[in-house]
Each structure stands twice: as C-alpha cells, then as structure tokens.
Amino acid sequence: MIELKYKALVLPLLTCSLLWGCGNDGKDGEPGTPATVGMSLNQASSIKAKITQVSIDAGTVMVDFDFTNANGVAITDLDTYPGVDTLGMGIAKLVPQEGEGYKTPQWVNYMNNLVAPNSAAIPSGYQDKAGPKVQPTIETSCRQECLTQPEPGHYRYTFRQNLASVTAIEGLDLSYAPSLVHRVSMELRLDSDRARLINTHYDFVPATGLEASEEMTRIVENTQDSCLRCHGDNYALSSAPSLILHGGRRIDTANCQMCHTSYAADPETGAPLDLGYMVHKIHKADYLMVGYGGRLQDFSEVTFPADLYDCRVCHQEGEGRPVDAANFRHHRALACGSCHSDSTDPVTIKEEMHASYQAEHECVVCHSEKDDEGAGHHVTDAIAKENVRLDYKAALVANSARLEGGRLSFSVSFMDSKGVAQPSPNADTRLKYSTLYLGFGNDVDFTKGRASINLLTLAPVAGADGIYSYDVASSLDSTKVSAASASAFITTQMCVDRDTLTGVACGTGTDEAFNPSVIPGKAVVFNLSGDTGVSPRRSVVSNESCAQCHDNQYLAKFSSKMHHSGRRSNFEGECQTCHNPAWASSANGLIQDHIDFKVLIHARHGQTAVVRAEEITFPEYIGNCGSCHKAGQLTLAGLNKVPATPAVDELGNEVEYSPTASACVSCHGPKESLLSHIRTNGGAANDPRGTYQAGAETCAVCHGEGQAFGVDKVHPIRFD
C-alpha cells in the first residue's frame, strides 16, 4: 500500500518537472475556443422564448429568437428534439381604418384560406347562412425544417410562405406594406404537454427593422388583467377549465388577434370570428359556431357574473395596462353590433344603429376622435356609482351601542371622504336604502344573535355634525349578546346621475342610473359592554376576490343581478350575519342547500346544490381554492368554537355537520368514505343532531393550509 501511494505521487511530480524544463517565454498563450454553455430539452424544467428580431428580404421572413430555460441557460437542441409537436408562426400587418371619427387599426393576416363549410356539421336552421368563408391561419407544417441555430440557444425560423406569393383573397389587400406595423406570432409546444407551451409575439416595422413601440401597435387587452381575472390558467392540469384553446395551443390574446380578424367567419354558421364580436357574444350567451376540430360550439348556457354594459369589466384600464387599452371606446361595427344588433353584416349594423340612435344622440357619441370618450357612455353608469361609493362613509360609532330594558341605543356616523357631515338617512333624499346589520358572536359565526335596522325610515333621537343617535325596541337576548363580540355593517343605496357622475335626489337626475349605487360599509367591531380590544370574525374571503369576476358591487345597468335586490355586496362579513349555521329554515334541507355562507358559496360555484341549484358556468377549476381565497385564509383556524350546521339526510332524518366537514361536503358531496374520515377525526358528518361538540374536530391538524396534507397541497391551488 505504501508503494502504491508513493507511485501515485511520483507521476504528478515528474510531470511538473518536465513542464518546468520547457521554460517560460513570458508570452500569453493563444485563447482557446470557448466552451458551449447550454442544456438539452430533456434537462430543462422550464422553457422560455424571446423573439429578438424579424427581417424580411424579397418577401422571405426570418425570425430570430432566443430559447432558454427560466434562468437564461441556452437550450441547444430545439432544432433536433423529437418532442416538438407544435411550432407555428404567423405574420400580419396592422392596417389603419377610414371613416367618421377615429377607428382602431385592424390586423390583416398574410396567410388566409377560403374554407368551404362541412355540410355534415351545419347546425339546423343555419343552412342559409353557411357558405365559403375566409379564415386566417399560421404556418404550422414546417416546424423544425425551417429552423437553424446560428449560435447555441439562438435560433432562426425562416417562413416557407413568401409574402410575395401569398394566396389572393377577393376583397383583401394582401400586398406587403413595409411601412406598417407588423406582428409575428409564435406558438411552440413540447411533448404534447400544456405545461411546456409558449405563445409569444413580436411587433415591428419592416421599413426600419425596429421593434414597434406600444403606442404604434395594438394590444388593447392584457390577458392577465382582463381574461384571467375570471378564467383559469392552470394549463398543466388537463381537467381544469383553463383558458386554452385550439387543441391546447392558444393562450395569448395577442396571438388570437392574428386570426380572429374583422373579416374572418365560420363557414358552417356564418358567425363572425372577429375577436371583439365573438367574445362579446360568448359572454352574452348568444353565440353558435362550428369551431376547432369541426365540433359544434354552443355558448347559450354561459353565465356572465358581471355587468355586460360596463365594458371595463373586461377592458381594464390604468397603470400597467396597454397604452391603447381605451380603444374599446372607439366604435367598430362588428364589436358594437355584437350587443346592439342581430345582424352579422357591418353595413346592416351601421344602418340599424343609425336608425336607433341618430334621432336622440349626437354623432360624436359613437364617432369620436382619438382619445375622446366615444363609447365612454357605456361606463358612466359604473363611474357614477364608484364616485359615490368612494365618497360616502357610514359606520356605527363603536362604543355607542347599548342594550337595556329591551331597547337598543347606538350612534352612527355619516360623512363623505373629506370628513364633511352628511344628513341622517331619513333626511337624505339621495338614499334609497340604508340598513344597519348587527351580528353577535364573531367567534361563533354570529350564531348568538343578529339584527337589522332600517335607518331610512328611522328618525334619530339626537344628532349633529354627521353623528346621529338612535333608540329602538329590540328582541335581542341580552343573556347571549351583552358580552359577545359583535360586528356592525351599514349598507347604503344612493341614486346617481350619469351626466354629473354624482349622487342625486332620487328621481331628479337628468340621466339617472336605473339602479342606485350600492355602498358597503366597513366592519366595526364592538360589544354591548363597551369593551375595547374585541376580536373580529375570522377573515376567509375578501370583496376584492369576489370582484375579480363579479363586477364592482354586482349591479347591472338594466336589472339587478344578485339576490336581495342587489343590495348585498359585502362578503367580508355582512352576508354572514344572516348566512350562518343558525339559520333555521335551511335546517330542513340537504346540507348542500343550507345558506350557511361556507356551504352556500361552495355549493353554488361547484354546482352541488340540489333544491337551491342555479345554472352557473364557473370559469375556473373548482378545486382551485385560490381563485377566491388568498394565501393564509385556509388555515382552518378559528373554527374551534363554531357550532355544527344542521341539515336533513336523504331520508329526512335530522343530522348535522361540523364546521370543516360542512365546507368539505358542500363541494365533494356526502360520500361515505369522506363522512367516515371526518368522523374518525372528531368531526360530525351526517350524524344525529347534538353529536358534535365544538372544538372536537381535528381537521386543521393535517388539512390546514401549510400542513402535511393541507388543503393547499391536496387541491391544485394557485394563489395569486
């Protein structure tokens, strides 16, 4: 062993001595060839493509792009990887439009097909509308044959389609126009895996070779801020109803615009495929077409949870949005006609709208110049409501409530956002509703008592400077509520005028909104003993989360869209003052039909309610609790004192469900395996009433957010 070690040392020493024998000439050696730093797609857990330049030479389009993982490491085998099942490239020009007032420029795709209808797919009653229609397309057949790799991780795609020889389409100017903004779109998918999918685009001006600025091009929508406020983007989960189309390849609206142009149509139904027209019609539940794969697409059962009249529900404006986000305010026949006309012909739409609106409106209402309001009248209803919602403040004075001798006394503050005193509701002619809601037992989901007091018809006993005192008879049980932690909410409805965008005396507005503004009041925590440091009810949902899909306070222009005349919009606690386990009438139904808030919302959105079932097309994956809940709201903390929710079983027997169990069953249904698991862990599930003892449920130990089998681990939750 010693000899082996010695020999091992001799060799490197001998090598060194030989090198020393060569001497040193004092000059640096020649630089070697840099090593290639890169990785294979088999090694890449993430992929990213960025188009860096597009050049067009004699009609030949060449697209340069970098292809890396998320950390910027070059991926060097895209051109040879056998799992590239999708690689499509498209190119279009942005063409200015002529006419009265400003019109948004429209994309004209260089590659189009005249598609004949499939006679077997024509829906009944659409035979007269069927016929050959133009459908833009992208280049998908070339794939890796059109790829070269000039440098590791840097690729060039050369279009097989030359712009000088595109297929002519009657009525379309497809000539190459280098001075116009152009867009190249790219879609790439690996291994038929939606989690390894890329949609990207690049806007540029061929004449200069430079990338187009935001001001020069047309985006209008930000997918994340607009579509994905409601729709899911869990593309990796194939069972999730995520916003991914065309065989799991299309996810970006900028790419969608390339083919869903103003001249595209469905050959089987004649329905326009124009993106604005199509999206409006779908959300109106008024669209039928034969789409991808030759399958009939009927959207007549879509339920839209917001105000269709308020364009800003989808067309989000403001900081971080595209610079042309307000372009929806400028009219286009198809986009406007999708709501205002039954015709699909732009000429007919114009004639119908002129006939309907010219008599009472000036032309500039629709035909506005750039940056003017145009269709801004669509949002005045919502803006007026927002203005007063932000300006009017009504709240219980926390230490003012007392219950003595069957009478409840309290004081309320009515102010604007600047602290200016407002009249009491009974003297405020702008108000159509003003009610104080009280829920007692913050720690037991308000099951100790509740009360609602109509302030609109109640005269204060005293008041000054916007603070008014009241005294009313009350049936509250003082033995239950006197020391209980409680919460107070005031909901107000104020009439608003669309001309002045302010609150007005009801019935006096020059253009009064059909529905008044709903103004939810912030929660005020108190108890009737005047104690300080009272703990609020646990927070498991926010109004902001609900407003992602349901518009800002849930009132449409023409009719109420929610129960209770549209007045209930404060889901952070006000709704729970009534929607709690103690609501007696719901105890006579199945658990999925109870109005207990944690049951009601899950059952409605998950479509598990039976008697109280409503048709709802939930656009997200119901298993993604993060679509409504924020991180930290699913710990299951604070349920240890909450009582069971009563119900009846399918045989009519009186049963109950412990707090966590009721929420779980409201989505998953009363499956015997689930019920057994709940019982094993201290809960009550379809058990006789009186079985459950508050605090016995141990679900949170394993299933609370962050635990070993937390709801955030056993569900495909994606918190924002």
Reported as a pLDDT band with limits 50, 70 and 90, residue 10 is very low
Apex CA 238: angle with CA 670 and CA 83, to 5°?
Answer: 155
Compute CA 230 distance to the chain's CA centroid, rounded to the nearest angstrom.
Answer: 3
Band (pLDDT 50/70/90 cuts) for residue 9 is very low
pLDDT at site 299: 95
Residue type, 134: V
pLDDT for res 25: 54
On the question of pLDDT at 342 being above 80, the answer is yes
What pLDDT, on the 0 to 100 scale, is given for residue 266? 97
State the pLDDT confidence band at 544, using cuts at 50, 70 and 90.
Answer: confident
Residue-wise pLDDT for 124-173, tens only, equals: 999 999 999 999 999 999 999 999 999 999 999 999 999 999 999 999 99
Q: Are 352 and 248 in contact (CB under 8 A)?
A: no
Residue 656 pLDDT more than 60?
A: yes
Average pLDDT for 211-222: 90
**Full 3-state SS string of 310-338:** CHHHCCCCCCCCCCCHHHHHCCCHHHHHH
pLDDT at 11 over 60: no
For 561-571, what is each residue's pLDDT tens digit?
567 777 778 88
Give 24's pLDDT tier (boundaries 50, 70, 90): low
Q: What is the mean pLDDT of the chain?
A: 90
Under the banding of pLDDT at 50, 70 and 90, the label for residue 1 is very low
Residue 552: the pLDDT is 60
Q: Which residues contact 552 (CB under 8 A, 6 or more apart)?
A: 382, 385, 386, 389
Tally Cβ neighbours within 10 Å of residue 82: 10
pLDDT tens digits, residue range 35-89? Answer: 568 999 999 999 999 999 999 999 999 999 999 999 999 999 999 999 999 999 9
Residue 338 is predicted with a pLDDT of: 94
Q: How confident is the model at residue 18 (pLDDT cuts 50, 70, 90)?
A: very low
Q: Calculate mean pLDDT across residues 582-609.
A: 94
Take residue 376 and report the two structure tokens written for it.
């801004």
Query: How far is it, in rounded angstroms, from Cα 90 to Cα 85?
Result: 17
Q: What is residue 33's predicted lDDT score, i.e. its pLDDT?
A: 54
Which of 522, 434, 421 is closest to 470 using CA atoms? 434
Between 379 and 641, where is the model more confident?
A: 641
Which pLDDT score, from 0 to 100, does residue 15 have? Answer: 38
For helices 659-668 and 597-606, give the axis angle rounded to 10 degrees: 10
Residue 196 pLDDT greater than 50, yes or no? yes
Is residue 21's pLDDT more than 50?
A: no
- Residue (of 455, 450, 431) closest to 518 by Cα position: 431
Task: Calculate the alpha carbon distances from 476 to 396, 472, 482 in Å.
Answer: 18, 11, 9
Low-confidence winner among 317-326, 447-456, 459-468, 537-546 (lowest mean pLDDT): 317-326
Burial class (CB in 10 A: 0-12, 13-18, 19+), 325: buried
pLDDT category of residue 687 using cuts at 50, 70 and 90: very high
**pLDDT attached to residue 561:** 58
Helices (H) and strands (E) counted in the chain, each on its own, are: 13, 28
pLDDT, tens digit, 9 for 90 and up, residues 476-497: 999 999 999 999 999 999 999 9
Length of the chain, in residues: 720
Output the pLDDT for position 318: 82
CA–CA gap between residue 362 and residue 374 (Å, rounded): 11
Locate 628 and state its tokens.
């409504």
Q: In this structure, are residues 433 and 456 in contact, taking their beta carbons and an 8 Å threshold?
A: yes
- Between 137 and 305, name the one with better pLDDT: 137
pLDDT value for 644: 97
pLDDT at 277 over 60: yes
Higher per-residue confidence, 558 vs 662:
662
DSSP string, 86-124: EEEEEEEEEE---SSS----EEEES-EEEEPP-GGGPPT
Q: Is the pLDDT of residue 30 over 90?
A: no
pLDDT of residue 558: 62
Q: Which residues contact 4 (CB under 8 A, 6 or more apart)?
A: none
The per-residue pLDDT for range 243-276, each reduced to its tens digit, is: 888 988 999 999 999 999 999 999 999 999 999 9
| Contact call for residues 414 and 466 (beta carbons, < 8 A) | yes
Q: In this predicted structure, which of 54-58, 368-372, 461-465, 713-717 has the lowest mean pLDDT? A: 368-372
- Annotate 172-202 with DSSP letters as a single string: ------TTS-EEEEEEEEETTEEEEEEEEEE
pLDDT over 90 for what percent of the chain?
73
Q: What is the DSSP letter of 565?
A: G
State the sign of the Cα–Cα–Cα–Cα dihedral 93, 96, 98, 100.
Answer: positive
| Percentage of residues in the chain having pLDDT higher than 70 | 93
pLDDT at 239: 78
Mean pLDDT confidence for 514-537: 93
β-strand 296-298 against 288-290: which pairing, if any? Answer: antiparallel
